[in-house]
Amino acid sequence: MPDPRQLHRSTTRLLSLAMIVIGVLLVVRTIAAGGGGIAIGIVLGVLFVAAGGARIYLQTRQERDS
């Protein structure tokens, strides 16, 4: 059975990458639909990418400090 900490790290990284992919898809879909300017899809997409990237950054930083 895998170490619970390693399982948690892997799951966190996987979900963070999924958030980044969803964010990029939201931005692309909004732009493709003609949602120029500050559309809700662009704002949410950028927020998803930022949240996913921040989670990966913080996890990497925590692993480095430990």
Q: Say what the pLDDT of residue 58 is.
A: 94
CA atoms within 13 A on the CB side of 57: 7
| pLDDT tens track for 16-28 | 999 999 999 999 9
Mean pLDDT of 22-51: 92
DSSP the chain: ---HHHHHHHHHHHHHHHHHHHHHHHHHHHHHTT--SS-HHHHHHHHHHHHHHHHHHHHHHHHHH-
Higher pLDDT, residue 36 or 58: 58
Is the pLDDT at 10 greater than 80? The verdict is yes
